Amino acid sequence: MRVVGVDPGTKTFDAVVVEEGKVVLEESFETFEVARNPATLVEFLSRTQADYIVAPSGYGVPVTRGDEVVDPRRFAVEVLLLSTERDIETGRSEGEVGIWVYDALAKVVETLVREFRSRVLFLPGVVHLRTVPKYRKINKVDMGTVDKLASTFTAIYNYSQKYSVDYENVNLVVVELGYGYNAAIAVERGRVVDGVGGTYASTGTLTAGALDLEVVVNTGAWMRWDVFHGGLFNTLGVYELEKVVSGYVEYVEPYFSVFNLFIESVVKDIHRVLVSTPRADAVILSGRHARNSVVRRAISELIQDLNVIESTGLKGSLSSKEAAQGYAALGSGIAGGGFKDLVEHMEIKSACGTSVDYVVHPRASKFIERVRRAYLESVTTPKMC
């Protein structure tokens, strides 16, 4: 079975083809270029001649095939992105970089569903998984988007293979350090049991992450793209972590202090989810920023009791992100090919509901109603919990 997975990153869309349990093809596309001309990515996906295409899935949805989607544009914008057409239109007109990701994802999803139908798969996020207790989901939406779950899938598989342990004996914290967002995912007995996703995590590179409610109530109206602001890059006015790291190494302020903020934020999130997997044997670092040796060392120095390990990727991978590999591997397992055992162990197919089902704050009632209605009306077989 040949499966291609697409990870819609803030900086790049990565496409990975998995066949017979290993990566056989990798390609990367600038997110801005995908938004400008999605046909470039779609044409590449067509050339892979894959049996299945695992589409960008944003905040996630229960496992869904393309031929179950009756309104792909609404499905992408309102269900996968938790947004509106007005959000995207206004964000584009104001030149918001973060909205390029949303715009690109929506265009790609719409095209893939139209052209490939039953060969297209969409995946859940952490909040959709039944292995995560309901009480941990209250007032949570971003417990780990689909790309974070995909990276976790890759990490569990690789750890099991490398250390020759059954999935049932894999206890980890998987940390995804993406270009714009971080996440810490708790794995107990080879299953995801908790997660702190990007907009709920501590300060990231692009995003402010979780905010003091005093900031929220005293700010007034927020725009959809505000989730891309308030992080390290806004603080310093630079948009590459390497520049921050260089300032840290040379003890130059404010880079030195802001880098420490970044590292401590990651470590605090790790400790938050360790409550849910107290027997964790290791912390796996994954994602674009995890490749930086200074970042890895700084995190390791603050995690005294656990091994901190860099994710290695699937067999055959050379350059692609772990999330893209996980997208393809998950799709292969769902379709009954390689990685099937891990998909079944993690109970991926039993995922249900929408990303907003556990929000209870009265201010969010209209938001909850809008997303649920969009899900129920844009697919033929909704899988509510």
pLDDT tens by residue, 283-334: 999 999 999 999 999 999 999 889 999 998 899 999 899 999 999 999 999 9
Average pLDDT over residues 190-207: 95
The confidence score (pLDDT) of residue 127 equals 98
Domain 2-378: CATH superfamily is ATPase, nucleotide binding domain (3.30.420.40)
Average pLDDT over residues 257-276: 97
The HSE-up count of residue 57 (CA atoms within 13 Å, CB side) is 36
**One-character DSSP codes across 78-114:** IIIS---HHHHHHHHHTT-HHHHHHHHHHHHHHHHHH
Per-residue confidence at 176, pLDDT binned at 50, 70, 90?
very high
What would the two tokens of residue 218 be?
Answer: 């005293």
The confidence score (pLDDT) of residue 220 equals 82
What lies within 8 Å, CB to CB, of 120 at 6+ separation is 52, 53, 54, 55, 65, 66, 67, 112, 113
| Position 120 pLDDT exceeds 90 | yes
The confidence score (pLDDT) of residue 302 equals 97
| Position 97 pLDDT exceeds 90 | no
Report the percentage of the chain scoring pLDDT > 70: 100
Per-residue confidence at 158, pLDDT binned at 50, 70, 90?
very high
Average pLDDT over residues 213-222: 90
Residue found under tokens 């704050």: 361
> Is the N-terminal amide bond of 362 cis, ω within 30° of 0?
no
The confidence score (pLDDT) of residue 312 equals 87
- Can you tell me whether residue 23 is helix, strand or coil? strand
Q: Of the given ranges (83-92, 97-106, 162-171), which has the lowest mean pLDDT? A: 97-106
Model confidence over 30-88: pLDDT tens digits?
988 998 899 999 999 999 999 999 999 999 999 999 999 999 999 999 999 999 999 99
d(CA 41, CA 218): 42
| Position 199 pLDDT exceeds 90 | yes
**One-character DSSP codes across 140-162:** -S-S--HHHHHHHHHHHHHHHHH
Q: How far is CA 384 from CA 63, 81, 317, 335, in A?
A: 12, 18, 36, 21
Name which of 266, 270, 123, 265 is nearest 187 in CA terms: 270
